[in-house]
């Protein structure tokens, strides 16, 4: 057998260069539509109380971010280079610190400013 892989004639030592397929994009699009429509319907029709709605929107947003990274950016634990994985983890950590810190500061300011 030659040194080429069966997946799009990519060399075996470069498994992260596998060509994406239309089926992966279609599945990602379907997941993205569902993950957008459910919170939109819950918020639009007032199906839950405000706190539960916000938690549902945040949960679905996090899941949708993971769907986009997997299906559209083609991140995979087996095929993605270590440097890209480290960059993804670092970016996620920085975003979590920014959102968490901003929410903490705004909440603290709200409690200090209200009588």
Q: Report residue 57's pLDDT band, with 50, 70 and 90 as the boundaries.
A: very high
Q: Give the chain's domain count.
A: 2
How is residue 100 written in tokens? 């968490």
How much is the average pLDDT of 67-76?
A: 90
How much is the average pLDDT of 34-44?
A: 97
User: Which has the closest alpha carbon to 32: 58, 68, 74?
Assistant: 68
3-state SS track over 75-109 = CCCCCCCHHHHHHHHHHHHHHHHHHHHHHHHHHHH
Question: Quick check: 10 pLDDT over 90?
Answer: no
Q: Are residues 54 and 69 in the same domain?
A: yes
Q: Are residues 16 and 55 in the same domain?
A: yes
Q: Are residues 38 and 21 in the same domain?
A: yes
């Amino acid at each position: 057998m030659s040194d080429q892989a069966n997946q799009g004639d990519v060399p075996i030592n470069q498994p992260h260069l596998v060509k994406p397929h239309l089926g992966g994009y279609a599945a990602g699009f379907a997941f993205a539509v569902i993950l957008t429509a459910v919170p939109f319907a819950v918020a639009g029709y007032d199906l839950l109380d405000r706190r539960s709605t916000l938690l549902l929107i945040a949960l679905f947003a996090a899941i949708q971010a993971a769907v986009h990274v997997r299906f559209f950016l083609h991140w995979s634990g087996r095929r993605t280079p270590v440097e890209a994985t480290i960059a993804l983890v670092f970016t996620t950590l920085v975003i979590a610190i920014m959102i968490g810190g901003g929410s903490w500061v705004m909440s603290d300011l709200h409690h200090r400013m209200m009588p």
